[in-house]
Structure 1
């Protein structure tokens, strides 16, 4: 074997090539994000009837990365996402990725368009793109909608799609049921099929989490013991779930005892575990223990991430120690941990709850320079201004959110519609409700009921009938022709 020794010139040339490749890769990611943001702006500013032509005229080129980014942005607006999905499929030199199909399956299931969801699955089948994860998503979505039998059917039908169920699919079914609080059904299926699929540590961890959500601490402990007896060693995921279960059951000191008993040579406590402990101590007004646990984490050599810093921020907010909150933010900066939208949301929620609305708006403006606000951030600010009857400010935040390409959630629409109803501006409220429905977001009964009352009061039965028909179409009719 010949070992080639590089001279300085060769090393320099290699570094230049590597640097160029890395730069090119990061540029592509940035370009995809920028194009996706511009497409999102076109989608949010164009009437639905001319959306295809507006996207055509934009001249923006779709790649798989761009499409995935756009679909992720609109994953809560199934109708709008599907229209983009159909449009992008017609573009030259483009084919949907597995990830794009998966996001679309999630979006259609979320608005209960199950026929369309299965059409997408059949399309994947023709293109030989189906995998176990596809069916895990379907099971998860059915279970979340409390369609337990359909979730089990999705598991059983895999064989017909040339995908024989394996342990991953079995774990996927159990996980779907446990996360939707159907742990007893999951336990029943586990007992029936445990000989067919030999359980692993993940299987037991799923059941452990399920009983934790019930909540049923004795059953959770029983599963933990059964796991050990079956010869499955707990991994970091198992320990994380057990700590979370104990903390939710109000046994944070017992959870801390488990962490301290872990063999760090085999399994070192993670930042998630510490974030759960810090959060729980904070929520129990045990600020000193929250801080001590955070410091213990640092002493053990675990580098804090944004999640554990957020837990510490939450603990200080609960204790109304705002000086400490801002000190934590400075420490994050010194340790090169960038705050995220959740950091911002924790602080804003506390300030608004305390009536410190001017300071909340000041924090909002400052945090926008550090991190990208999400729909929850904008929703809080819009709600705050609506409650203050400052509708112009609420509308400015709404327009700014749209300009930034952040897609409004159902709650964002709801708080603005409620604010407009309080002001008696039914015309604008109706426009927003129609826009909401056209995007595939079904308004809650409370939101629709509030607007309905105003329309009946104003004798606008025609408008109410029109909105009712639109809502029924969204729920009962498939999105495809």
Structure 2
């Protein structure tokens, strides 16, 4: 049976049969149960190029090695718990691919947060590789996971833009013995479904929460998520209906909750519905200046200065005294409509009325002056803020940096960035966005991203998509690849916008086959393309039918 002179458990024997047997899975199943971890480590190093050629092969290898490795590791732990044995086990672990790493025991010295992250990464890989439901359930079961809400949250956060694997794992976890979802897990799953506009599934999920658990699982954040997602998807009637379901979940129908509903509707430009609702419910929810400010801001968001003026006058005649927010909202409406002189006049009158403007109102005036290229006037008000004890915040600096970058006064913009860090006013993602938009070369991006990390600034999905768009415009495949991989790793995408950027970018470079590949992949993930992307896909299909001479340059690295 064995080749002459060969030990059946030696690496040479494995190599001999590896080269001769076509059914490698059968070979692995026969040989690996008798192997010890150091031999497994050797085999992985020897055949790393085979084990990592595809994720599916890696998981086949894992499913055979893992049970035997864990049994051996447990045996070693029982026999010898000294540091030498633990060090040896760690060395063996590090030689296996990330997806095949065994779950460390609960008495490991590795921090629990690190273990949760590793488990979440492993689950993410499983969800990505296995398409068959039964196969995926089997793979998850073999991992021997100890489910916690933190682990479930980390997995869900890694799939914010891919609702199918997120919902599968959420449902799978809910059926595991000894675990039940908490409020945070439900809120995250509801937010993912709402973000991906899966409103039927979102409603079904909230309605399926058992009545006896509703009071403990559903809170104000839950309803805030539901209302935001309904309103953002133009589901106004559903948002209002969900508001009145609060009692079913043990929450009050009070003025604060009603203001949350008004705020959500106005945020998504539904003030034409919000104002009549506000007027109709005055007996049920007595109006105050906060409710009026929300409606005034709604007209400002909609960009209707005429309606904003009308409602401003209604506030004045109602006998309800305007507060700082009222002034700030109306001044913002004036500046956005180009009525800068009127806004500055109202701003100046606030000092005279012994109602000094706060930093938000000063920011609004500074931004308006910068937009009109009145930089000296903006810098004058910036100086007066310090003199009057109104300290600038990140929005103040952002207004100045944004316009300095636009007119290419980059040295002064970076001076403001240095001043922010020096004065303990940490920049945010928007601050760095203005610098990114002013960049001309791909070599400038990594340095700024590193500065973001050093200052503790979280890189958002908007920032990632901006950088992705920049690299696409520069025709820089390596940059696109690195950003795509980092987005996946950090759970920030790729989302619908990411695919849209890549599809349109490839089309502009006449690489229609690749663009259609990513369009197909986006659809398979349950993402809804923009109308312009649908039209573009149809045009590319037509073009491809008449021309098979496509570019050979590929962005296949995005999938790695």
TM-score (norm 1): 0.75
Map of 1:357 onto structure 2: 441
1:385 maps onto 2:471 in alignment: yes
Map of 1:5 onto structure 2: none
Cα displacement string for residues 115-150 of structure 1 (whole angstroms, at most 9, x for unaligned residues):
222222224462123345544543433333233333
Q: How many angstroms does 1:161 deviate by? A: 5.3
1:153 maps onto 2:241 in alignment: yes
- Corresponding residue to 1:43 among 124, 129, 133: 124
3-state SS, counterpart of residue 399 of structure 1: helix
Whole-Å separation in 2 of the counterparts to 1:298 and 1:73: 43
- Corresponding residue to 2:274 among 186, 189, 205: 186
Distance change in 2, residues 1:175/1:359 (3 Å): same
1:411 maps onto 2:497 in alignment: yes
Larger-Rg structure: 2
Whole-Å separation in 2 of the counterparts to 1:393 and 1:296: 43
* Aligned ranges 1:123-202 → 2 under 5 Å: 123-124=208-209, 126=211, 127-128=213-214, 129-131=217-219, 134-159=222-247, 163=251, 165-202=253-290
Distance change in 2, residues 1:346/1:239 (3 Å): same
Asked if the contact 1:344–1:367 (Cα under 8 Å) also holds between the matched residues in 2, the reply is no
1:216 maps onto 2:321 in alignment: no
**Structure 1: which 5+ residue stretches go unaligned?**
1-29, 461-481
Q: How many angstroms does 1:95 deviate by? A: 3.9
Asked if the contact 2:116–2:150 (Cα under 8 Å) also holds between the matched residues in 1, the reply is no
Q: How many angstroms does 1:285 deviate by? A: 1.6
Distance change in 2, residues 1:430/1:284 (3 Å): same
TM-score (norm 2): 0.65
1:112 maps onto 2:197 in alignment: yes
Q: How many angstroms does 1:299 deviate by? A: 2.5
Distance change in 2, residues 1:119/1:308 (3 Å): same
- Corresponding residue to 1:341 among 429, 432, 446: 429
What is the aligned length? 427
Higher RCO (CA 8 Å, separation ≥ 6 residues) = 1
Whole-Å separation in 2 of the counterparts to 1:39 and 1:293: 50
Cα displacement string for residues 280-313 of structure 1 (whole angstroms, at most 9, x for unaligned residues):
2222222122222322222233333333222221
Whole-Å separation in 1 of the counterparts to 2:114 and 2:365: 35
Distance change in 2, residues 1:132/1:341 (3 Å): closer
Q: How many angstroms does 1:206 deviate by? A: 1.0
Asked if the contact 1:305–1:337 (Cα under 8 Å) also holds between the matched residues in 2, the reply is yes
**Structure 2: which 5+ residue stretches go unaligned?**
1-110, 547-560
Whole-Å separation in 2 of the counterparts to 1:174 and 1:263: 31
Whole-Å separation in 1 of the counterparts to 2:312 and 2:430: 32
Map of 2:207 onto structure 1: 122
Asked if the contact 2:267–2:298 (Cα under 8 Å) also holds between the matched residues in 1, the reply is yes
* Aligned ranges 1:60-459 → 2 under 5 Å: 63-65=148-150, 67-68=152-153, 71-72=156-157, 74-90=159-175, 94-124=179-209, 126=211, 127-128=213-214, 129-131=217-219, 134-159=222-247, 163=251, 165-230=253-318, 232-262=320-350, 269-351=357-439, 356-358=440-442, 360-361=444-445, 363-370=447-454, 371-423=457-509, 425=511, 428-459=514-545
